[in-house]
C-alpha cells in the first residue's frame, strides 16, 4: 500500500523525536499499521538546520500554511506550539480535509471546542494523545479503554517540572528557589518556568482530561489553578511527619452539583502509588464505577516519550483515515450530540480535607478559641499537633475532616482576626485518594 | 441507530458483571459508542436463575451454539471459560460472520492462533481485553498506545490470587498454607487453586502479552512456569532485609537470540512501583525504546472490573463492525502477514541476577569453596550475608550479578556435592527492573 505522507510543523525537541522514531522504528511501525508512515515535508524556522537532519528527499519550508494546503500531504502533525500560527495551520489543514495530530495542550484547552467542531464538520480527525502526559496512552485509556464506566474522578501528576521540584525539595530538604534553579540547569525547567510552576500547564492538560472523562466541552477558563511557587519547605516536612507527601495534582471529579476542575498542591497519603511517583515522571489515577481505581504511569515529557504518543496517533489515523467518520472514536470521548451540560463548580463549593498551619502565642485558651472558630464554621478537626517556636509562641497544625472550601475560607478570615494569631494561615488541601 | 444485539454465553461472575454494567451505564455507554448495546440473548446452564436476572425480554437458552448461529445476534460475548464448548461456539460465531468478545485467556493462549486465523479469514474481530489483567486496558495500551515503540520487555503482576498471598505472607509473617486457606475463605482463591498458585493462569496471560509486544504467534507451550507454592516465608524475610520484595512476575523480553517467556517468583527492589502493588491488584510495566518505562495498574479480576474490559471491547467492536477489516487493529498488534519468527529462549539461556540460600557447616574455608564453585561457573557474587543457625551451622545468602541460568544450575549441582552443604540451595531470580 502507498505510504502515508506526513507534513511536520516544527522540528524542535518533539518534532525531532518524531523524526527519530519514524526513522528508527519505521519497519516495526509498518508491521503494525499495515503501511509505511513517511515524513514528506517539514515546516521550520531554520531551513538549513532542518535540511541537515532530514536529507534531500523531504520538502523543507518555512511556510506551515503551504503544508496545510499541500494536496500531497495526508496528515499534518503540529508541533510548533503557541496559539496563533499553530491554530491557523490546524484550521486550514482541517478545511483542506486533512487529519491533524497535535501535542498542543495550550491550544486545545483554550480553542479545542472550535477546532473539534471544525474537524467534526469536515469529517477529519484531530488526535492529541501527546498533549497530556507525554508517552502515557492516557487519552486512549480514558476515551476507549474505560468506555464502560461512569468515571467518578481522576487525579494526576501531569507536570514533570513541578513533580521534579517537589521530589527534590522533599528528598534533599532544599527550598523551592534552590531546586528551581537546579531544575533549570538540568533542563527540567524552562528559563521562564511560570506556566509549569504556577500550574497553568497542568490545568491545560486537566481541562482536556475532564472533557474526556465526563463528556463536557473544554473550559480552561473555569479551572482553579494554584502552583507551587509559594510552597514552604516546612510544610513538606510536616506533611511527611504526618504520613503524607505534597504533590501538584490536577483533579477533576463529578459531584451531583457539578464538576470539580482544579490544580493545586495537595497532601496525599505516602503509601499510595501517586505519592511514590518521583522525579519528572507523570501518573494519572482514574476511578470508574466498574473498573475501580486504575493508574497510568510513565514519562510525561521529552523528545522520544512525546514522539511515542504522536506516532501512536499517526498509526490510529492511518488505520482510520479512509473509514467513515462514524466508525471513529469521538474527539472528546462522547459523541458530539451527546455532550453534557454540567457546570464546573466554583472552588468555594469544593469539599476536601485541609491541612492548616499557623503561628500563635503559646498561652492557655488559644487552642479552645481556634477550635471554636472552626467548629462554628462547621469544620471538624481530625487531628492537631503543636510545635513550640521560641519561648512564647507555637506552630499549630490542624488536619480537618472534609469541609466546604468556602466555609474554611470564612473560618480563616475569623482566625486572622484573633489577637493571639501571629502568622497567616497556610492552607493546603488533603486528598485521601486510593 | 439500531441497537447492537449481543449474545452472552455465560452469566456467572463476569457475565453477571457485564449485564450489570450495561444496565447501569447503558446511557453513558451509548453517549460514547453512538448507539445502544443490548443483551438480546443469554446461554446458561440454569435457565430459571438467568430468567430471574434478565427479565422476560431477553432470550434465555442452554444452547450456546444456537446463539452463535442466531442471525439476530451481532456480537457473541464468550464468558463460559473452558476450551471445549467455548472454542466450538467461538469458531461457529466466526464462521457465521459474527464478531466475538472473550475473556478466555486459557483458550486464547492455547488455541489463539487458530481462532485469530479463522477470524482474519472471515473478516471479523475477536476482542480479548478482559483476558489479561481485568479492567486495566493493557491490551489496548500495548496494541494501540505504544505502536511507535520497539518494545523491549514487559513485566507484570498478572495474577491477583498469588499477589494477595505474597502480600499477606510478607505483611503478616504467615506461611504459604495458612494464607492460601484464608484467601480461599475470602474468595481470593478458588477451591482448587492450582492454576493460580502454580503460575499457569499468569502464563496464559503472559503468552498473550508477548504476542502483542513482539508480533509472535501465541505459544503457551514454550512458556517457563514456576509458581509460589514452594516459597518459604524465610526467603520473604531475607528479601525484605536486602531491600527487595518477592512477587510472582510474568516477564517477556526481546533478546538478540530470542524471546524470554517466563513466570516465576522474583525479588524486585522495594522502592519500585511494581514492588508496591499489594493485595489482589495487578500491574504491568512495559518498556519501549521511545516511551521508556510505563506502568498500568488496576484490579485484575472481579465481576465489574472484568466487565469494564468486556464492555470496552463491545464499544470498540460496535464502532468498527461495519468498517473494512483493514481499518481495524490487528488481533495480535501486528499485521498477520508481518508476524515475526523469533524463537522463545530455553530457560537455561535466560540471564538474570540470582538469590541463593543454603545451609552449611560453620567452619573456615566454606565460603572460599562456595565462591570458587560460583566463580568457576562464571558467576560473580554481588553481595553475601551469613546468619548463624545453631552452634555449628549457618545460612548463607548470595546475591549474584547477572548470570546465565544454565550456568547457575550447573554450579548448584556442584555445590550440592560439597561435603559441608546441609540443605538444598534455594534459588530465586532477582529482577532489577525500573
Q: Is B98 a catalytic residue?
A: no
Q: Show binding-site residues of B.
A: 9-16, 105, 190
Any idea which residue has 540460600 for its cell?
B357
pLDDT level of residue A347 (50, 70, 90 thresholds): very high
Partner residue opposite B31 with nearest CB, options A215, A290, A297: A215
Handedness of CA A66, A92, A139, B252 (dihedral sign): negative
pLDDT level of residue B160 (50, 70, 90 thresholds): very high
Residue A324 confidence (pLDDT) = 79
Residue B328 confidence (pLDDT) = 87
Partner residue opposite A297 with nearest CB, options B135, B294, B329: B294
Is residue B391 in some structural domain? yes
Query: Are residue A200 and residue A278 in the same domain, yes or no?
Result: yes
Does the pLDDT at position B433 exceed 90? no
Is residue A343 in some structural domain? no
Average of pLDDT values for A23-47?
Answer: 96
Does the pLDDT at position B322 exceed 80? no
Is residue A344 in some structural domain? no
Question: With b meaning 16 or more CB within 10 Å and e meaning fewer, what string describes A2-32?
Answer: eebbbbbbbbeebbbbbbebbebbeebbbbb
Residue A77 confidence (pLDDT) = 98
Residue A149 confidence (pLDDT) = 98
Q: What share of chain B has pLDDT > 90, as a percent?
A: 93
Query: Are residue B307 and residue B290 in the same domain, yes or no?
Result: no
How many structural domains are present in chain A? 3
Nearest-by-CA chain B residue for A339: B31
Residue B334 to chain A, least CA–CA distance (Å): 4
ipTM attached to this prediction: 0.94
Q: Which range among A190-199, A320-329, B77-86, B196-205 shows the weakest confidence by mean pLDDT?
A: A320-329
Exposed / middle / buried, residue B390 (Cβ in 10 Å: 0-12, 13-18, 19+):
exposed
Nearest-by-CA chain A residue for B332: A32
Is residue B231 in some structural domain? yes
Exposed / middle / buried, residue B291 (Cβ in 10 Å: 0-12, 13-18, 19+):
buried
Residue B112 confidence (pLDDT) = 97
Best residue in B1, B25, B148 for a mutation probing chain A (most A CBs within 10 Å)? B148
Query: Are residue B233 and residue B196 in the same domain, yes or no?
Result: yes
CATH code, domain carrying B120: 3.40.50.720
Task: Dump pLDDT digits (tens) for A139-166.
Answer: 999 999 999 999 999 999 999 999 999 9
- A121-A332-B330-B39 Cα dihedral, nearest 10 degrees: -100
CATH code, domain carrying B204: 3.30.360.10
Q: DSSP alpha helices (H): ranges in A142-218?
A: 160-172, 176-186, 194-197, 200-214
Is residue A98 in some structural domain? yes
Best residue in B294, B301, B313, B337 for a mutation probing chain A (most A CBs within 10 Å)? B294
The HSE-up count of residue B378 (CA atoms within 13 Å, CB side) is: 10
Residue B1 confidence (pLDDT) = 80
Residue A102 confidence (pLDDT) = 98
- Inter-chain touch B311–A322, beta carbons under 8 Å: no
How many Cβ contacts (< 8 angstroms) between chains A and B? 232
Query: Are residue B331 and residue B394 in the same domain, yes or no?
Result: no
- A373-A376-A382-A387 Cα dihedral, nearest 10 degrees: 10
Residues of B in contact with A136 (CB under 8 A): 291, 294
Q: Show binding-site residues of A for NADPH.
A: 105
Give the distance between the most distant pair of CA atoms in chain B. 83
Task: Dump pLDDT digits (tens) for A258-311.
Answer: 999 999 999 999 999 999 999 999 999 999 999 999 999 999 999 999 999 999
Average of pLDDT values for B232-239?
Answer: 96
Average of pLDDT values for A217-238?
Answer: 96
Does the pLDDT at position A434 exceed 90? no
Partner residue opposite B148 with nearest CB, options A141, A298, A312: A312
Compute the distance between CA of residue A377 and CA of residue B386 in angstroms, rounded to an integer: 61
Q: What share of chain B has pLDDT > 70, as a percent?
A: 100
- Inter-chain touch B316–A140, beta carbons under 8 Å: no
Among candidates A395, A396, A382, which has minimal Cα distance to A352? Answer: A382
- A336-A338-A341-A346 Cα dihedral, nearest 10 degrees: -70
Residue B326 confidence (pLDDT) = 79
Does the pLDDT at position B75 exceed 90? yes
Residue B279 confidence (pLDDT) = 94
3-state percent breakdown (helix, strand, coil) of chain A, nearest 5? 40, 25, 30
Residues of A in contact with B17 (CB under 8 A): 290
Residues of B in contact with A145 (CB under 8 A): 129, 137, 140-141, 312
Compute the distance between CA of residue A344 and CA of residue B223 in angstroms, rounded to an integer: 51
Residue A213 confidence (pLDDT) = 97
Partner residue opposite A305 with nearest CB, options B215, B290, B319: B290
Contact B291, A308 (CB under 8 A): yes
- Inter-chain touch B324–A322, beta carbons under 8 Å: yes
Query: Are residue B73 and residue B169 in the same domain, yes or no?
Result: no
Task: Dump pLDDT digits (tens) for B342-382.
Answer: 999 999 999 999 999 999 999 989 999 999 999 999 999 99
Residue A199 confidence (pLDDT) = 98
Partner residue opposite A135 with nearest CB, options B291, B312, B334: B291
Residue A187 confidence (pLDDT) = 87
Q: What is the mean pLDDT of chain A?
A: 96
Residue B386 confidence (pLDDT) = 93
Contact B284, A121 (CB under 8 A): no
Is residue B228 in some structural domain? yes
Q: Show binding-site residues of B for L-homoserine.
A: 190
pLDDT level of residue B273 (50, 70, 90 thresholds): very high
Residues of B in contact with A323 (CB under 8 A): 320, 323-324, 327
Does the pLDDT at position B341 exceed 80? yes
Query: Are residue B215 and residue B291 in the same domain, yes or no?
Result: yes
Residue B14 to chain A, least CA–CA distance (Å): 12
CATH code, domain carrying A418: 3.30.70.260
Residue A386 to chain B, least CA–CA distance (Å): 32
Name the active-site residue from B2, B49, B98, B205: B205
Task: Dump pLDDT digits (tens) for A51-107.
Answer: 999 999 999 999 999 999 999 999 999 999 999 999 999 999 999 999 999 999 999
Residue B24 to chain A, least CA–CA distance (Å): 9
Q: Show binding-site residues of A for NADP(+).
A: 9-16
Name the active-site residue from A98, A140, A205, A247: A205
Query: Are residue B116 and residue B225 in the same domain, yes or no?
Result: no
Is residue A31 in some structural domain? yes
Does the pLDDT at position B271 exceed 80? yes
Query: Are residue A130 and residue A143 in the same domain, yes or no?
Result: no
Q: What is the mean pLDDT of chain B?
A: 96
Average of pLDDT values for B31-44?
Answer: 96
Q: What share of chain A has pLDDT > 90, as a percent?
A: 93
Among candidates B228, B252, B80, B240, which has minimal Cα distance to B155? Answer: B252
Domain membership of residue B413 as a residue range: 348-430
Query: Are residue B175 and residue B29 in the same domain, yes or no?
Result: no
Query: Are residue B68 and residue B203 in the same domain, yes or no?
Result: no
Instruction: For the beta carbon of residue B240, count every other beta carbon within 10 angstroms.
Output: 14
Is residue B46 in some structural domain? yes
Query: Are residue B312 and residue B373 in the same domain, yes or no?
Result: no
Residue B211 to chain A, least CA–CA distance (Å): 12
pLDDT level of residue B395 (50, 70, 90 thresholds): very high
Q: Which three cell numbers stand for residue B403?
A: 548470570
Residues of B in contact with A25 (CB under 8 A): 148-150, 289-290
Q: Which residues contact A103 (CB under 8 A, 6 or more apart)?
A: A14, A78, A79, A128, A130, A131, A306, A309, A310
Query: Are residue B332 and residue B359 in the same domain, yes or no?
Result: no
- Inter-chain touch B25–A328, beta carbons under 8 Å: no
Among candidates B258, B419, B277, B269, which has minimal Cα distance to B351? Answer: B258
Amino acid at each position: 500500500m502507498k505510504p502515508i505522507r506526513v507534513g511536520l510543523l516544527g522540528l524542535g525537541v518533539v518534532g525531532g523525536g518524531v523524526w527519530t522514531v519514524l526513522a528508527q522504528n519505521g519497519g516495526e511501525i509498518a508491521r503494525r499499521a499495515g503501511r509505511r508512515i513517511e515524513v514528506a515535508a517539514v515546516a521550520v524556522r531554520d531551513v538549513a538546520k532542518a535540511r541537515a537532519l532530514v536529507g534531500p528527499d523531504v520538502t523543507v519550508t518555512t511556510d506551515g500554511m503551504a503544508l496545510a494546503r499541500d494536496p500531497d500531504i495526508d496528515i499534518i502533525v503540529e508541533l510548533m506550539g503557541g496559539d496563533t500560527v499553530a491554530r491557523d495551520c490546524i484550521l486550514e489543514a482541517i478545511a483542506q480535509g486533512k487529519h491533524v495530530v497535535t501535542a498542543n495542550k495550550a491550544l486545545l484547552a483554550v480553542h479545542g471546542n472550535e477546532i473539534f467542531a471544525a474537524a467534526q464538520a469536515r469529517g477529519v480527525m484531530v488526535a492529541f494523545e501527546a498533549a497530556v502526559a507525554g508517552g502515557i496512552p492516557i487519552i486512549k485509556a480514558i476515551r476507549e479503554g474505560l468506555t464502560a464506566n461512569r468515571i467518578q474522578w481522576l487525579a494526576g501528576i501531569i507536570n514533570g517540572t513541578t513533580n521534579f521540584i517537589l521530589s527534590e525539595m522533599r528528598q534533599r530538604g532544599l527550598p523551592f528557589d534552590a531546586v528551581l534553579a537546579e531544575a533549570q540547569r538540568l533542563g527540567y525547567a524552562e528559563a521562564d518556568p511560570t506556566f509549569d510552576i504556577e500550574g497553568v500547564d497542568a490545568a491545560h492538560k486537566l481541562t482536556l482530561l475532564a472533557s474526556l472523562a465526563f463528556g463536557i466541552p473544554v473550559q480552561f477558563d473555569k479551572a482553579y489553578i494554584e502552583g507551587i511557587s509559594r510552597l514552604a519547605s516546612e510544610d513538606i516536612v510536616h506533611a511527611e511527619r504526618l504520613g503524607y507527601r505534597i504533590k501538584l495534582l490536577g483533579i477533576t471529579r463529578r459531584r451531583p452539583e457539578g464538576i470539580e476542575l482544579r490544580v493545586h498542591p495537595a497532601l496525599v497519603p505516602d503509601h499510595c502509588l501517586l505519592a511514590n511517583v518521583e522525579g519528572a515522571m507523570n501518573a494519572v489515577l482514574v476511578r470508574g464505577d466498574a473498573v475501580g481505581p486504575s493508574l497510568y504511569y510513565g514519562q510525561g515529557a521529552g523528545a522520544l516519550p512525546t514522539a511515542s504518543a504522536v506516532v501512536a496517533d499517526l498509526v490510529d489515523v492511518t488505520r482510520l483515515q479512509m473509514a467513515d467518520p462514524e466508525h471513529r472514536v469521538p474527539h472528546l470521548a462522547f459523541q458530539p450530540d451527546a455532550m453534557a451540560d454540567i457546570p464546573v463548580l466554583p472552588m468555594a463549593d469544593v469539599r476536601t480535607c485541609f491541612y492548616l498551619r499557623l503561628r500563635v502565642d503559646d498561652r492557655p485558651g488559644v487552642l479552645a478559641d481556634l477550635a471554636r472558630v472552626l467548629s462554628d464554621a462547621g469544620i471538624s478537626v481530625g487531628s492537631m499537633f503543636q510545635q513550640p517556636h521560641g519561648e512564647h509562641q507555637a506552630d499549630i497544625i490542624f488536619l480537618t475532616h472534609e469541609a466546604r472550601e468556602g466555609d474554611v475560607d470564612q473560618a480563616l478570615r475569623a482566625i486572622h482576626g484573633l489577637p493571639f494569631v501571629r502568622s497567616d494561615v497556610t492552607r493546603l488541601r488533603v486528598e485521601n485518594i486510593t
